[in-house]
Structures are given as C-alpha cells and as structure tokens.
Structure 1
Amino acid sequence: MHNGQTIVSIDPVNPEPDIIARAGKILQKNGVVIFPAKCLYGIAANALDETAIEKVFQLKQRPLNNPVLVLIPNKTMLADLVTSISKQAYKLMDAFWPGNITLVFEGKKHISRRLTANTGKIGIRFPFHPVVKALVEYVNFPITGTSANLSGQKGCSHINQLSSSMIDQADLVLDAGRLKGGSGSTIVDVTTSPVAILREGEVSISQINKIMST
C-alpha cells in the first residue's frame, strides 16, 4: 500500500506555497507529481529530462506512439521549444492563452522523441489553473501535462478514480477535490494552414473559427 504521505490536499484557488515548493522540488529532481487542472488530473514531470519522461510512460502504461503535451510558465518559453510560430498560432494564443487550448508545433531538435512520439511535433499549453500555473512557474521549465489515467482509460476528475499503481509510483499527489471533468483541452495543430483541430475540448470549434476569420 502507498503511505499517506503521497497524497496532500491543496487549495485549488489559492494553492499553498509550501505545497507548491514541495511538488516543485520533486520535479526538479526528476520525480513525478499528479496535479489538478481545470477538468482532469494530470501527471507532471520535467519535460526536458528523458528519465522523468520515461516515468510518465511507465505510470500511464502508455504506448510509445502517443505524444505527450507540455505545459509552460509563460509564452516566452515557446521560443526554446518550437522551430517557428505562425501568425495563426499567435492569434490563437492571444485569444485563448492562458487556458484550455493546446497548440501543436514543430518541436526543436532537443525535444525528446518520446514527447513527440517520433512525429517531431509537440503539443504545448500555457495553463490557467492556479495549481499547475504556480507549479510550472516555481520550476520555470516545461512540464508534462498528460492526463493521469492508464492508457486507453478515461481521465480522472477525482483522485478516488486514480489507479492504485499510479498513486504508488507517483512521488506526490496533489488532491484538489472533485474537478469539473469533461474532455480537457482542445488540441489544434498550428503547423498546417489552415490550422487543423485534432480534438474539440473546452474551447469549441466555432470559437476557434471565429478567431481565425478575424
């Protein structure tokens, strides 16, 4: 059984700085933290470290052909991760970031092949949720934001839904109570023109089309 120390309650609106620091230090040592986002729980690890990324794949029992999205603390960090940012991408970022839209870019050479699932493309989000925002600002490097569920299973909006093996393998679980659930972020590939909507989530296709047509 996992010990009680793994799961810590956190305030979803005003996350306690000491808990954020504890989680941040784990990420700096390439550990894994399960965290709350707006809709579902996610798995955070240092997105620039192969060992840390590997742990995420083990946790999710995830096939290697699925890319992993990355969360960043600010828009300026994008330049370190992607080869180019189109006008369309800027439009979408101005309209929806920070928030529930993941943009897929061409990743720079140093981005792990694991994150891009050998596609060379990387999904990036600038998050809005206070907990993950505080966490990514604390570490100031990109972290993984993939949903905390075993591959092929539904996302978890409550930590009771997490598999016990995931809790056992995580270094820390931040429990913010029940989240709103739903489909998570909308994913848009901005490497093509026009952009391609890969998954409709919190931001609707019509909202995106409206921004793209301005």
Structure 2
Amino acid sequence: MTIVIPMRAGPDERLKVAARLIVEGKLVAFPTETVYGLGADALNERAVRRIFEAKGRPADNPLIIHIAESEWLFELAREVPEVALRLAERFWPGPLTLVLPKGEKVPSVTTGGLDTVAVRMPAHPIALELIRLSGRPIAAPSANISGKPSPTEADHVVDDFYGRIECIIDGGPTPIGVESTVLDLTGEVPVLLRPGGLPLEDIERVIGRVDVHPAVKGIEVNLAKAPGMKYKHYSPNAQVILVEGPREAVRRKMEEIVEEFRSRGLKVGVMATEKYDADAFFHLGESMEEVARNVFRALRELDKAGVDVILAEGIEERGLGLAVMNRLRKAAGYKVIRADKLK
C-alpha cells in the first residue's frame, strides 16, 4: 500500500507522516527543485539497500545525500575544504552537489563502495521540511526505475513505484527539471562530474577554473564517482535519436529522418523547440529554462503515445543546455546524427 500525500500548497502537518516513515526505515518519494527523489535515511544501511532494490539500481552507483543544514556536512564528510564552504554559502539551498571525502558515519552502501560522499541541500520547501522533521540526512536518487527518464511530476513516480514504496508526496511539477550539478572537490582542481540545474558558468564565476570530466561528453568510465556517470540513463522504451548541428541543418535532417521512418511504417515522435509534422510532437519551449523543465516529461509522454522512434533536437551547450544535452545523449545511448551541412 502506497500513501499519496497531495501537498501542492507547500508543507503542512501531513508531512509528519512521511517524516515518521523515513525514521522507520521506509521509502518516501518527494519533490525537490530538480526532480522527484526516492528517499531513505542515508545512515540506515537496510533502508538504503531498499532504494537500490526498488529502482533496480546497480550497487556501485552512488547516492546523493540531502541535508537541511550546512552544519550536517561536517558529520558526513571527513574533510570540508574552504572551497566547499564558499560554494555552500553561495549556492545552498540549491541544485549543487558536492563530492567530498566520506565520513565514518556514512555506510558504504550509500556511497556505492566509494571513499567519497555526495551531499547537497535542496531548495524545495517540502524537501527541506521533510529532512528537518525526520532529523535524518536523506539519501535520494531520482524516483524512477533505473535507466528510465527521471520524474518531474508525482504521476511519473506513481507510474513507476505505486504499490512498491510506502509514500509519495505530490508537490506538483518540479521547477528545474534536470538533476543537480555534481562537483568533485577531492582533488587540487574542482571537477564537474555531472552538469545539472546550476550552470557551470555560475560556479566558475565564484571559484574560478573547473575541469570537466570526460564522462560529461560521453567518454565511458569504469568507476562512477557520481550518479549518472557509468550506466545508461534516462531512456524511454522507444529508440531515441539525437540530431545535432546548425539549427536549419538540424531541421532539414530531422524532417528527412521522419519521412524515412514513416515510409517504413514506423510511428515517429519529435521533441523540439519548433513544430514538426510527426505522429506525435512535444514542444520543449522557447527558453533554455523551459527546455530543461520539459526534457524528461517529453521523453515520458512520447513513450506513452506509443511511438517507435523519438527524434530529439540538439540545443546549444551553454548554461542549462550542457545538462540537457548530457541527458539527451544518454537517453539516445549516444546515437547522435550530425547535421552539419545544408543540401
């Protein structure tokens, strides 16, 4: 039996029910400013194992721990460098995850067996109040079956987990729509492990140079220091093909591909910033913020439309565009078509 708690107007007394479930070692899905998370007490090894079981998540894929107070960072990390404090002061609460040396309190299962821990303070009022009421740091990957598109609405979580977890908090659509930015602070130079809701440019304005891990652009890794680095992610049932290049060239190439697939009797869906003639179409929006907010919803809705193939329009990799393109490349299994020239 899964309890669904509607909480569109913000935290209220019903949140105490969900907090009690966290304390009891149960699983609670809740909204953050990025996507919905599937939460459990991060220090309860048995509860954390249930997250991996429910999602079908590989045990070596680390989880992010969500906290409500910056002081909790010192209990979870063995060392907290000055740069971490600067970033926390500037960007927390917010969509920034910091990777630091793991403290003794954190079970190995939570960190995927790594000697590092990933921590963030979410900006969503429901998430923060749930953490405060439970008095526990909450480990929470995205609340979706492993490998599928991340959930940005409670209905997405219901589709994946109703009857399999104890509680789903419906806080409405998430405002950002892509997961947090993950920054590794364990070396001499900070390293971007995953682009997300906080643009890299904003971070560099505060701390200077940040290296970008090869996995961000699709280079395969054997050791995942952050969620989403090693395994196929965000994929619907339909085949996803990403088309990149100059805007007009992309349009012509996508129209050509739609015609080709439909001539073979396949049902084609398109997700883009401008209208296409296809069997199903999802308008991603005009601004980069709208596109980020809609990208996972588009993948899920086109899948529900029963298309065989989803064509995704590539966008410029600046600001949130870097995170969007990272997710689209993973959703496509790095099947990318370049449209560099007009015929």
Whether TM exceeds 0.5 here: the answer is yes
Mapped partners of 1:41, 1:200: distance in 2: 17
Counterpart of 2:263 in structure 1 is none
Do the aligned residues in 1 keep the contact of 2:157 with 2:168 (CA within 8 Å)?
no
Q: TM-score, normalised by structure 2?
A: 0.58
Counterpart of 2:193 in structure 1 is 198
- Within 5 Å, give how 1:96-135 maps onto structure 2: 96-135=91-130
Identical amino acids, percent of aligned pairs: 26
> Out of 22, 26, 29, which is 1:31 matched to?
26
| Cα displacement (A) at 1:163 | 5.8
> Out of 6, 9, 21, which is 1:9 matched to?
6
CA RMSD of aligned residues (A): 1.6
- Within 5 Å, give how 1:90-169 maps onto structure 2: 90-162=85-157, 164=159, 166-169=161-164
Q: Secondary structure at the match of 1:93?
A: helix
| Cα displacement (A) at 1:152 | 1.1
> Out of 205, 210, 234, which is 1:210 matched to?
205
Displaced runs of 4 or more, over 3 A: none
Do the aligned residues in 2 keep the contact of 1:88 with 1:195 (CA within 8 Å)?
no
Q: Secondary structure at the match of 1:43?
A: strand
Do the aligned residues in 1 keep the contact of 2:63 with 2:141 (CA within 8 Å)?
yes
Asked if residue 88 in structure 1 is aligned to residue 83 in structure 2, the reply is yes
Q: TM-score, normalised by structure 1?
A: 0.92
Asked if residue 186 in structure 1 is aligned to residue 181 in structure 2, the reply is yes
The number of equivalent residue pairs is: 209
| Cα displacement (A) at 1:82 | 0.6
Partner AA of 2:87 in structure 1:
L
Do the aligned residues in 1 keep the contact of 2:34 with 2:95 (CA within 8 Å)?
no
Do the aligned residues in 2 keep the contact of 1:150 with 1:163 (CA within 8 Å)?
no
1:46-99, CA deviations, whole angstroms, 9 ceiling, x for partnerless residues? 100011101111111100110000011201111111111111111111110111
| Cα displacement (A) at 1:161 | 2.0
Q: Does the C-alpha gap of structure 1 residues 212 and 181 become closer, same or farther in structure 2, counting only changes over 3 Å?
A: closer
Q: Secondary structure at the match of 2:136?
A: coil
Counterpart of 2:219 in structure 1 is none
Task: Note the residue ranges of structure 1 that are not aligned, 5 or more in a row.
Answer: none
Mapped partners of 1:213, 1:63: distance in 2: 34
Do the aligned residues in 1 keep the contact of 2:145 with 2:160 (CA within 8 Å)?
no
Answer with 32-41 or 174-183: which moved more: 174-183
Partner AA of 2:7 in structure 1:
I
Mapped partners of 2:89, 2:14: distance in 1: 31
Q: Secondary structure at the match of 2:163?
A: helix
Partner AA of 1:176 in structure 2:
G
| Cα displacement (A) at 1:188 | 0.4
Q: Does the C-alpha gap of structure 1 residues 165 and 147 become closer, same or farther in structure 2, counting only changes over 3 Å?
A: closer
Counterpart of 2:294 in structure 1 is none
Larger Cα-atom Rg: 2
Q: Secondary structure at the match of 2:147?
A: coil
Do the aligned residues in 1 keep the contact of 2:143 with 2:151 (CA within 8 Å)?
yes
Mapped partners of 2:153, 2:125: distance in 1: 17
Partner AA of 1:9 in structure 2:
P
Task: Note the residue ranges of structure 2 that are not aligned, 5 or more in a row.
Answer: 210-343
Q: Secondary structure at the match of 2:14?
A: helix
Do the aligned residues in 1 keep the contact of 2:45 with 2:110 (CA within 8 Å)?
no
Asked if residue 57 in structure 1 is aligned to residue 61 in structure 2, the reply is no
